[in-house]
Structures are given as structure tokens and as C-alpha cells.
Structure 1
Amino acid sequence: MNLDTFIGQKEIVFTLKKALKNPFHAYIFEGEKGLGKKLLARIFSKHILCENKSSCGVCKSCHLFDASSHPDFKIIKRQEDKKEISVESVREIIKDLSRGPIFSDRKVFVIEEGEELSTSAQNALLKTLEEPPPYAIFIITCNNIERLLPTVISRSVVLSFKRYSASEIARILSQNNLEPKDYIIKLCKGNPKITLDFYNKEVQNKRDYIFDKILQYDGAGFGLIKEFESEFEKFKNDFEFLFENIIYFLRDALLYKKTKSIELITNTDKLEKIIQFSNKHTITHIYRLLQDFMVLDRYPDANVVSENVLDMIFLKLSGG
């Protein structure tokens, strides 16, 4: 894949193409998770390091890059056993920079999830951003730019990634040899990662599990709640997935209850379950549940305070 075949983010791709001959020393690719920031960072890096500046796939630099052995390309990210990217990691970058390029005329460093840089790491990086060597290029991918120091941001070109159109999502699915499905394109909210995740059997199994549990709900099913609780561990790191699936299901049930039409339903692959739930409950009851879960969906730091959120969910499901 190269800049010409990358799908979406047209304005950003255009900017990067123009920058190939004379790139800036630091870029921040910012936006929500799943919009292709890491992929585009790699593609741009390959272009920069390519002997022909075209990601030709033929030159020695491209071969080294494709083999993940290019000496002038480094990816820096948080280690799994660490809470943040340490200042030591940044010092390693600075040490590496002092040696200059080995093969290409540039050295490219991609820092993934830059918001995970510690404050001291950001301050150490700042010194290099203020006076970078002429061959140094930094690309910082970031899901939450507000956690970066303003001084780091001000010394970088910020490129903000946007959600994709339905047609772009369909093209990405075709590119991955997947059949575009209308309900998935609606549910993914223009996010390629969410889209591709829907084709994962484990994700679909979780979705089926959630819908089956909702369908069993009778307004005061404490037994159901205890059963839900016993298997809730699988969602402790993904409350957003849980909440969004419940919200979309309840929204569909409410729309069907009010209109008796399936045209506005998003989960078109689950029509039978939605209709069954809708027929089982009143409009007022479904609406109250929908409102409750919409509040829970906005609960701050849900992944951190999972037990508190879990208690709230059980309370709502039991009619509390």
C-alpha cells in the first residue's frame, strides 16, 4: 500500500504527498482510535525513506522497510508492563539520532499513542523538537491530543483524522476481501477498525451474548443479572462496546415499537430479536432503559472504575 492507494483522509494524504520532497521535522497524527493513523504513519515513513520517494517496493530501502529491518526507521510505543512511555525511551531516540542515518538520507521515528508519553519524556523530546537534526523526522500518533504538552504540539504539524464515509468504508472492506454489509456500515460510525472488528467471530459472539441477555430481561430478572455478572469479565476492558450495542438494540426496539417499521432499524441482522423484545415491553419502559444506558455510556473513565459502573448496570437492569 502507498499514499495513492490509501483509502480516505484525502486532505491529509494530499498534505503528505506535497511534503515528501521537504518534510517537516515533526507531525502529529491525531484523532479517535481506529482511523488509520498508525498505518498512514508507516506508509508516509516508507515513502520518505524510499530511494525514489515513491514507496516503489523495488529499491533496497523499500525491501528493508518491508522486512521490518530498516536501520533508519524506529517505532516507539509503551511496553505492555509499563503505564507510560518513559523518559529513558526518549533518551534512546536522542542517542540514536546522534549517530545520523545509516542507509537513507533521513531517520524516521514513529511514536505510537503519544499521549502515553510521560511528562518528563515529552520534555526530553521537546528539546530535540526545538533544535532537530536536519535528517530527523518524528511522527506522533495520538488518540487524545489534549494529553500532549502545548509546547510539543506547537512545534509539530498537526493532522486531524476524520471519520470515513460509507463509500470509503465499503471500499476498505472490499480491499480486505470482505463483503460490505449494510448494518455493519451503519454501526461502525465511519471507523475502519470498528468495521473490521465486526467481521471477527469473537466480536460477533459477544454481540450475540449481549442481545440474548437483553432479550431475557423481564424488568426485574435478578437471576439474569447474576448470570450476566458471572460472565461480565469479558467486557471489563470494553465497556464502550457493551454500552453501544445495548443502546443501538434499545434504540431499534423503541423505533419499531413506535412505528412498526423496520426501515429505521440499524441491527438489520437481528430483526427477530428486536421485534420480540419490542413486543415484550412498553414504550415507556424501553425509553427509560435507553436513557439509563445513554447516561452510563457517558460515565467517565469506565474502564478504570469498572466495578462501580458494573453495579450501576445491574441496578438499571433490575429495574432500579
Structure 2
Amino acid sequence: MSYQALYRVWRPQRFDEIVGQQVITTTLKNALITNQTSHAYLFTGPRGTGKTSAAKIFAKAINCHHLKDGEPCNECETCKAITNGQLNDVIEIDAASNNGVEEIRDIRDKAKYAPTQADYKVYIIDEVHMLSTGAFNALLKTLEEPPANVVFILATTEPHKIPLTIISRTQRFDFRRISAADSFGRMKMILDDKQVEYDEQALWVIARAAEGGMRDALSILDQALSFSDNQITLDNALLVTGSVTKQLLHQYLQQVTDHDSGKALETMQSILGAGKDGQRFIEDLISFVRDLLLYQESPDLINIESTGLSEHDYQSLAQKVTGNVWYQMIDQLNDIQQEMRFTTHPDVYLEVLTVKLAQIKASDATQNTVISQAGPELEQLQNTVAKLQQEISQLQKQPAQPTQANESRPIAKKQPSSTKTVKINLTKVYPILESATKEDLIKLRDIWGDMLNMLSVPQRSLLHVSKPVAASPQGVIVAFEYSFLYQKAATDADLEADMQADLTKLIGETRSIVYVPDDQWPTIRQDFIKQHALAPTSDAANDSDSTDDPATSEDEKEVTQTLNDDKMVTQAQELFGNEIVEIKND
């Protein structure tokens, strides 16, 4: 039989063999034991964390007739067929290459048929985020109303690309990155079973290089086994991963913190000369600085034995350098790491980085940290203080300025006269005046307070200094004592709508509302009387609010009223005839 990669040979066949996902495996086993399985699952998480393995184990467990504590027996014909990929009722699909609508429609049509051999038909769709929008829509109906005895397991590394309508119809399980300790334990178990000699420090190097992926760790371990002829040593692991020993990293940081850039450059050149990867060197430095920061906060957080360094090595750097220096070093390392992504000359960037790190001092780090945290705010505050000082000096040079300001106040009091320029829509005012009556005005004034109480507090405060001055069956004219309140009301469509609605509720009639400034109301009324030559409309002018104008005497009102009455009688007789019109005196 040809050689198989370690991650294929040692693929988990039971839930207990899945590394670092105890919460998920326990939940799935309990669901199987209590027969509370769902029709659709979504497994998300980074690569190599056990998503597809868990899906296959679940497919075996749900179809195994010899289930024990939620684990498949792996001995019956069904379990063996699923393990070998020979059971037609367990279908594994790669959505990256089958992402069209037709493929999903084919799944939907075939899912209607009952399973042929197993109890449940299980569809495992890997990298489901690669499906097109049309394919997701085709899958949605099946997930919403699934056929009996059908289970869908969707696996993805990018759940944010999956529509929420799909996610809401599945049980979601988030697989987390596998810790270096878990990866180390799994590799140690495999090598012990294979009876291969190994250096534990080498396994720690491989576990950290895998960055949380168990499959990546086993792939690197496979490379190391091939490189060293079935013997894992620290040097071979470092060569395969491109990592740098913690001793060299410790030496490099020691020289950098001593501000000895010459020796630090020599150490860095020897690291690159040994064939180490520049990007990996930066990542190892960041990881080491992170360990030092954690060690400063709590030494128990670091497993020193796994690093290959001694307690004294950590103490020497932790006591020598403050946290602010480490923070600034991490910032520099992150910047260089981004710049090195597309370069073909990493040694140039690393040399510049070494010089920069060697020039960092504790006082500079502290100052830079403070400035970076409060730079914009500090600059703005300084500018504000400078402007205030300049204004104070100008005021001190001009002590008579407040007197001049006081003397100019009477001029400012004449500003209300500018309200004469306010445009008033007379085309809305005159139609109301033409049919205005004193009875309508009295009726509106009686209910005015009730209408105000129905409005909101801001609207009520705006109308507090207003009053109706004319009213007709079609509308009402409201005068404001202050022009700025009139302008605000004239531009408030909501206020007008609310007033009309409240008036309709109170009097049962719909009336339009027109606003006018109080100081211009007498002029508007007199202009209306003159323009209409004491026609019947002038009666509206006098009935509206003439008692509020002291310029109009009682004799003038009586003469105007008499003329208006005679004119009204004449026009009524012309319109309807003498036989119909009947004159009655009050």
C-alpha cells in the first residue's frame, strides 16, 4: 500500500479523538444520545480544526445501530462503509467546484428519495460559502422544509459570506483554533504509537508554527520525518519551519535592548544566513515579546519549559525593560511585517528594523505612548488656549468696548421692525376674511385653550403667545406677537397638520390655518377693507378683531357697518331677486 500522509492516517474516527473541541463534541454526543438531532448543522472555524472530521463522525453516529455514549462503533458495516467513503447515503460535496444552481437543484431533487442503506441520508457540503446566490436560494427551501430522514451539514471557514437566512435555519458550531499544547499532545501520541524518536522542543516548534491548525501541524511533522529519516530533532524542526530558536531570539532582544545595533545586526545576519525565513523571524519575535509581556504581568501564564529558555532568561529581560518598550517594539514589528509582504529583499527591511529597535529608549517609549494616546486632543487644546489668551489680551487693550456695546443696544431693539419684510401669503388670508364672522371667531376662541392642550409641549410653547384674530367656516387666522415665532410656525408643516386635526376633533369641521405677525395684522385688515371698497368682505374685517385696534373709533365702526349692510342687501337682491330676499333687523 502506498504511503499516506499523517493527517489522513490519523484522522479522527470518534468524537473523543477530535482535539481541542470538547464543547462541540460533547453537545453532538448528547444530541445523539437523547435523539434530539437537528436537520441542518453549520460547522465554522479556521482550517484544520476538525470540521469535516466531525461531520463524518456525526454521519456514522446517526446511522450506527450500536451507538455507545454517543460514539459510533466503527465496526458495523455502515460505519466501515462511511469511513471508506463507500456509502451512497452519505454524500460529500465540495462547494468550491460545485457552486452552481444546477448542482444544488440536483441535491434538492435527490434528497426527496428515502435512503437506500442507512437510516439517514447525510449531505456534507464543504466550503459552503463558495455557493452562488442562486445556489443558496435553491438550498434555502430544502433547509426550510427538509424531507424526512435527511441531514445537511455545512462546513465553512468564512461564515460571514453565508446569507443569514441560511444560518438561521441551522445549528451553528464554531470550531476554535487548537492550542499549541493540544497540538503538542496529539503529535506526541502519534510519534509514540509509531515508535519514532523525537525531541520535545522540536514538537513545540512545530506546534507553534502550525498556528492553531491540527492538519498543518501533522503536515509539518510529516515533512520533518521525511527530512530527518524518521527522527525528529530540534534543528530539523527549525529548518523545516524556518523558525528561529528562542536562544537566538533572546540574544537578539538582549542586544537590541542594550542599544547595541552592531551586534544585533550581526545576529540578524547569521539568522538569515542560516536560511531562516524573514517573515517567520518577525512572527517569532512578536510571539517572544508577547511572552515577555505576559511574564511581566503573571509568570504563571507562560510555560517556560516549552520555550527552551530558563527562568533566568525571562527574568533578565522582564526586569530590564518596561512594558512601554515592548508595546513600541510590537508596533514596529507589525509595520515592518506589512511592508515585507511583497518585497524580494527582506534583509533590507530587517536591517532597518534592527536599527529602529536598538534606538528605542524607555523615556522615548513613554513619551511616544502618551502623545499617541492624546496627540490630536492635546494639539486641539493647545490651539484653543492660544486663541483664548489672544482674545484676553485684546480685551485688556480696549476697556471702553463694553460701554460701546451697551450704547448700541437701543439700536438692536429696533430689529423687530425687520418683520415688515416677512412675506405673508395674502391669497390665503383674504378668502378667510371674505367670509369671516364674529360668531366663528368667538367659537374658535372658546375652544382655543382645549386645542392647545391637545398639542405637544414644544408646539404648545410655540403657540403660547398667539391667538385667533379672524375666523370663517373655511379657516382661521392666527396672529403671533413675535415675528421669529411666526416664522418658525410658518415653516412647521407638522404643527399646521396637528392643529387642523385637533380642530376637526373639537368642532367637527375641517378648517385651514393661516399665520400672520401681530404687528402687521392691523395693516393687513385695513388694506383688505380698502381693496374691497367696503364690500361684504369688509364686514369680515370689522368682525375679525377690530376691537383690538384703538385707532378705530366706535363711530367709524357703526358707519362702516351700516354701509356694509346696505351694500350686502343690494347685492343679495341683485343675485336672488327682491321676492326671495327678506330683511330682518337684529
Query: Which of 131, 156, 181 does residue 200 from structure 2 map onto?
Result: 181
Aligned pair 1:248/2:260, yes or no? no
Q: Which runs of 5 or more residues in structure 1 are unaligned? A: 236-241, 272-285, 300-306
Query: Which of 76, 92, 113 does residue 75 from structure 1 map onto?
Result: 92
| Cα distance change on mapping 1:108 and 1:289 into 2, 3 Å | same
- 8 Å contact from structure 2 (residues 243, 280) kept in 1: no
Aligned pair 1:294/2:334, yes or no? yes
Structure 1 or 2: more helix by fraction = 2
Query: Which of 168, 181, 184 does residue 154 from structure 1 map onto?
Result: 168
- 8 Å contact from structure 1 (residues 28, 139) kept in 2: yes
| Cα distance change on mapping 1:245 and 1:153 into 2, 3 Å | farther
Query: Alignment length, in residue pairs?
Result: 283
| Cα distance change on mapping 1:296 and 1:42 into 2, 3 Å | farther
- 8 Å contact from structure 2 (residues 19, 178) kept in 1: no
Question: Partners of 2:287 and 2:84 in 1: how far apart?
Answer: 47
Query: Which of 2, 17, 22 does residue 29 from structure 2 map onto?
Result: 17
Aligned pair 1:196/2:208, yes or no? no
Query: Which of 30, 41, 46 does residue 32 from structure 1 map onto?
Result: 46
Q: Residue 156 of structure 1: CA displacement?
A: 0.4
Question: Partners of 1:56 and 1:77 in 2: how far apart?
Answer: 27
Which residues of 2 match residues 50-199 of structure 1 at below 5 A?
Answer: 50-53=64-67, 54-78=71-95, 82=97, 85-165=99-179, 167-177=181-191, 181-182=200-201, 183-184=204-205, 185-199=207-221
- 8 Å contact from structure 1 (residues 252, 267) kept in 2: no
- 8 Å contact from structure 1 (residues 12, 159) kept in 2: yes
Question: Partners of 2:176 and 2:291 in 1: how far apart?
Answer: 29
Scaled by the length of structure 2, what TM-score is found? 0.40
| Cα distance change on mapping 1:139 and 1:295 into 2, 3 Å | farther
Task: Indicate the residue corresponding to 1:207 in structure 2.
Answer: 241
Task: Indicate the residue corresponding to 1:6 in structure 2.
Answer: 18
- 8 Å contact from structure 2 (residues 220, 240) kept in 1: no
Scaled by the length of structure 1, what TM-score is found? 0.68
Question: Partners of 1:28 and 1:177 in 2: how far apart?
Answer: 33
Compare CA radii of gyration and give the structure with the larger one: 2
Identity score, percent: 26
- 8 Å contact from structure 1 (residues 75, 109) kept in 2: yes
With a CA cutoff of 8 Å and minimum separation of 6, indicate the structure with the bigger relative contact order: 1
| AA aligned opposite 2:352 | G
Task: Indicate the residue corresponding to 2:522 in structure 1.
Answer: none
| AA aligned opposite 2:152 | F
RMSD: 4.5
Question: Partners of 1:247 and 1:141 in 2: how far apart?
Answer: 29
- 8 Å contact from structure 1 (residues 115, 148) kept in 2: yes
Question: Partners of 2:344 and 2:332 in 1: how far apart?
Answer: 9
Q: Residue 126 of structure 1: CA displacement?
A: 1.0
| Cα distance change on mapping 1:57 and 1:265 into 2, 3 Å | closer
